[in-house]
Structure 1
């Protein structure tokens, strides 16, 4: 990646960590963005803090999709950014009103100490609570100053009134008895005025606190300050962060938190329902539920609430214990409720269902969706031949851009449906995963013509399939003839494994079985890359590294 002259100069400017307070006051507004990017890249939290606290524009976006080789911002820089946001609320030089942190989080424990989704959510909610507490303290101080000013004005008014009465008494030349009585009357009026103010103060505090409430609690409830900044982010919530997220979303304050994508883990149905009730209705694009025992009935209960978010276009359910068995009473009715609930998700374009035991029920689920899907992920679903047959002829097939059928067994009975599905999606499909599907050399040979016809395909994953070296050669030769293809995840050939592997090994056996140390594993990659060079395809990346494969890098 080549850097522009402005970027190179910006990195040089922020390189001296201690000089940030000196040069930032002279920076023109059009250079704030390259300087902030340089500060993130060079891990200069002080420069990040100075720039954000004086940000000259109304919006600031930090995050988004990273380019290949680009790492997530350092944890210290993110913390400095969040603290500067709070300080900027009271800094007249800061014009920031919208902060977009969507996509900012990195992988927990990754290179460069990035901040993961859970840590970023906790830090962001803490900042929201701190900003509200600071605004409440400001309100209390302002109220105390106002009360003192009012009391001073009242005392001054009483003193002037008393002096006026004394002056009138002396001008009338009244005797000593009358002047004494007037002084007594003026003292009584002063006492009444003080008592009246004290009574009014007690009534005002009683009205604020209410029955059984403290003054501090009432101030937290009655905060009516305007929202100074909106912060949009992706939230990751589990049992440990739930209480802090609930507090940040439920109370008003100068910072308003908005959510783009919500990810929850190990949550009950009631907790998810409560959390969804706290989110603003507009702006939520996706919900990702993982490792939660929803059940068919629980998901059917949540879907009506999800339908109240008008922009929701993504629903992901991973290991959520959706087990459909006909021998359980009420399961048929729950499945119908589930289908009716999905029918109300008008904008749904992405559906991901991982390890849900619903064999033979794909038609019931997908046929109710009002709009055709663009992304469909169905790994570990034990799809039946009837499921694949429905999918190949459904209204979703021609619009699919991303399809994941990993760990669903492909054999002679399901292969015709797979080929028909690829033919239907040939002009739109960009990402395809058939990893762990039991594809042998013979099955792959029958499938290659359909794969080669996918003219928009950018990435293809075929890991953990029992292919020989001859099958891989045929695969790569086909890939060379696909001009749109940029990434190919291929399996280790059977010849690279130690002896003793079954004739038709499963994906789990291929994953656990050791490779033969006596075999030159690099020779496989060299031979396949040689085929790329012969075909003039230096733009096609081949890999057998399943753990580090990322299809999004081609976008």
Structure 2
């Protein structure tokens, strides 16, 4: 006897029902809840538009994760679903079975379809959609009857057909539809198109903003008022915002930083190559309203006064991650770095100081504070030129850190010739000496040693990355 297959039986029942579309529509009022997902999937892929339309206003779940079925946006099937929503919105009283509150067009929801199509006994209630209630609690505006979630990655010169159609549909139903996204990513798109999109989206739903574009500072200033309306943003990433000639730097920086005053949930701030920041860091830090979890300022010019303001900022005292890679610190006071590390020692988990031009005296100054970073998990100093003596001191100061599991260090200064050329044989000898130091300290530990940054593979790429491993079973 063959094994009974509930998934196969559900699909057979759904296929049988869809052979007569009129019958399928008429029976939706009485269709068992566990049959809705398999029938919807088959109707979706079979382009049964009228059935899809009818199923929407009988949908027995809070969320309809349509994006999980859309490998490529299809206007026909999307339009059928939206037509069903129009019928739903036109009714004064919601149908008895319908619990639909969220249409999710993001590439998520595969678990929903596989679980509910494969095993109805595992639960089919609207409680599966609990995160929706959490999302809604964050918005300050009156709730719309229905929310439409999308992924927004703006990277073309013109809006694609799918997004253009959806935005037009939402625009005509502004009173009853909210277009929401949690993560906004802008790569390349004309400012007028960005404005068009953002004028349609519920900005207070956005929790994460990525701007990975070669914007100049004035463009960022133009975008800033939209950012200020994203009151629930938790993570902000800015990449390659450059300062053009003859720009009014102070005015544009003020236009941007003043909007940070409205971001009461900002926890993570990442800025790569922010050429406008030199001499203006204090202005930005004063506009932060909440303590940060992560701060990253990389490949940027900062002044010693900028770093002074950073070490004095009250909103970095709870940092878990600090990344200043590519910020030249060579001529900065060693005491300044010491104060900065002391400020974050109680909570810091990740510290990256790659390619900072750190000198032996600066590293030695932060060692006492570094030894108190009891939560530190990851520490990287790649691309700096440090002596073997200071590296030994560093390994001894960090030996007692209980959470430290990832350590990336530069090849010692003595690994290079006077012309700056790496000497592999000498590096092998120094690695053996580092192993002896680890053995002397007596803690199982792996450190990674790298040479100068690779000029062919990227600014933060290093070669000759080699592990130095000490364990209790390491041969003597």
2:457 aligned with 1:542, yes or no? no
In structure 2, relative to structure 1, the CA distance for the partners of 1:293 and 1:235 (3 Å cut) is same
Residue-by-residue CA offset, 1:303-327 (whole Å, 9 max, x unaligned): 221222221122211002145x7xx
Could you say which residue in structure 2 is the equivalent of 1:126? Answer: 73
Give the Cα separation in 2 of the matches to 1:465 and 1:240: 41
In structure 2, relative to structure 1, the CA distance for the partners of 1:94 and 1:336 (3 Å cut) is closer
Give the Cα separation in 2 of the matches to 1:137 and 1:337: 42
- Find the residue that maps to 1:376 and give its secondary structure: strand
2:287 aligned with 1:287, yes or no? no
Give the Cα separation in 2 of the matches to 1:52 and 1:468: 68
User: How many angstroms does 1:285 deviate by?
Assistant: 0.6
Could you say which residue in structure 1 is the equivalent of 2:265? Answer: 347
Structure-to-structure mapping, 1:179-194, within 5 angstroms: none
In structure 2, relative to structure 1, the CA distance for the partners of 1:331 and 1:320 (3 Å cut) is closer
User: How many angstroms does 1:422 deviate by?
Assistant: 1.2
Alignment TM-score, normalising by the size of structure 1: 0.55
Give the Cα separation in 1 of the matches to 2:401 and 2:65: 38
In structure 2, relative to structure 1, the CA distance for the partners of 1:83 and 1:98 (3 Å cut) is farther
Give the Cα separation in 2 of the matches to 1:524 and 1:52: 67
2:355 aligned with 1:436, yes or no? yes
Structure-to-structure mapping, 1:4-83, within 5 angstroms: 22=8, 53-54=37-38
Could you say which residue in structure 2 is the equivalent of 1:321? Answer: 242
Looking at secondary structure, tell me which structure has more helix per residue: 1
In structure 2, relative to structure 1, the CA distance for the partners of 1:121 and 1:444 (3 Å cut) is farther
- Higher mean alpha-carbon deviation, 90-99 vs 430-439, is at 90-99
Give the Cα separation in 1 of the matches to 2:334 and 2:35: 58
Structure-to-structure mapping, 1:226-375, within 5 angstroms: 229-231=103-105, 235-239=152-156, 242-243=159-160, 244-252=162-170, 258-295=180-217, 297-322=218-243, 328=246, 330-357=248-275, 358-375=277-294
Give the Cα separation in 2 of the matches to 1:475 and 1:86: 67
- Find the residue that maps to 1:408 and give its secondary structure: coil
Residue-by-residue CA offset, 1:514-553 (whole Å, 9 max, x unaligned): x4454565x6666546655654544x5533476599xxxx
Q: Contact 1:229/1:256 (CA < 8 Å) preserved in 2?
A: no
Could you say which residue in structure 1 is the equivalent of 2:468? Answer: none
- Find the residue that maps to 2:309 and give its secondary structure: helix
Q: Contact 1:314/1:349 (CA < 8 Å) preserved in 2?
A: yes
User: How many angstroms does 1:494 deviate by?
Assistant: 3.3
- Find the residue that maps to 1:439 and give its secondary structure: coil
In structure 2, relative to structure 1, the CA distance for the partners of 1:256 and 1:474 (3 Å cut) is same
Q: Which consecutive unaligned segments of at least 5 residues does structure 2 have?
A: 13-33, 87-99, 106-148, 451-459, 466-476
Q: Contact 2:374/2:401 (CA < 8 Å) preserved in 1?
A: yes
Could you say which residue in structure 2 is the equivalent of 1:454? Answer: 373
User: How many angstroms does 1:442 deviate by?
Assistant: 3.3
- Find the residue that maps to 1:489 and give its secondary structure: strand
2:330 aligned with 1:411, yes or no? yes
Greater C-alpha Rg: 1
The equivalent position to 1:378 in structure 2, one of 282, 297, 312, is 297
- Find the residue that maps to 1:413 and give its secondary structure: coil
Give the Cα separation in 2 of the matches to 1:299 and 1:424: 31
Residue-by-residue CA offset, 1:232-253 (whole Å, 9 max, x unaligned): 5654331168424444444359
Q: Contact 2:178/2:201 (CA < 8 Å) preserved in 1?
A: no
Give the Cα separation in 2 of the matches to 1:123 and 1:235: 15
User: How many angstroms does 1:53 deviate by?
Assistant: 4.6
Residue-by-residue CA offset, 1:436-464 (whole Å, 9 max, x unaligned): 11123333222211211222222111111
In structure 2, relative to structure 1, the CA distance for the partners of 1:228 and 1:391 (3 Å cut) is closer
User: How many angstroms does 1:355 deviate by?
Assistant: 1.1
Q: Contact 2:411/2:427 (CA < 8 Å) preserved in 1?
A: no
- Find the residue that maps to 1:480 and give its secondary structure: coil
Residue-by-residue CA offset, 1:8-28 (whole Å, 9 max, x unaligned): xxxxx9xxxxx99538779xx
Give the Cα separation in 2 of the matches to 1:463 and 1:361: 27
**What is the RMSD computed on CA atoms of the aligned residues?**
4.6
Give the Cα separation in 2 of the matches to 1:528 and 1:488: 13
User: How many angstroms does 1:126 deviate by?
Assistant: 1.2
Residue-by-residue CA offset, 1:362-385 (whole Å, 9 max, x unaligned): 111211222233321111221101
Give the Cα separation in 2 of the matches to 1:85 and 1:495: 69
User: How many angstroms does 1:124 deviate by?
Assistant: 6.4
2:63 aligned with 1:98, yes or no? yes
User: How many angstroms does 1:125 deviate by?
Assistant: 7.0
Q: Which consecutive unaligned segments of at least 5 residues does structure 1 have?
A: 1-12, 14-18, 27-49, 57-79, 102-119, 141-225, 503-512, 550-555
Q: Contact 1:480/1:535 (CA < 8 Å) preserved in 2?
A: yes
Structure-to-structure mapping, 1:452-531, within 5 angstroms: 452-497=371-416, 499=417, 501-502=419-420, 515-518=422-425, 521=428, 528=434, 531=437
Q: Contact 1:53/1:85 (CA < 8 Å) preserved in 2?
A: no
Q: Contact 2:317/2:344 (CA < 8 Å) preserved in 1?
A: yes
The equivalent position to 1:398 in structure 2, one of 309, 317, 338, is 317
Alignment TM-score, normalising by the size of structure 2: 0.63
In structure 2, relative to structure 1, the CA distance for the partners of 1:343 and 1:385 (3 Å cut) is same
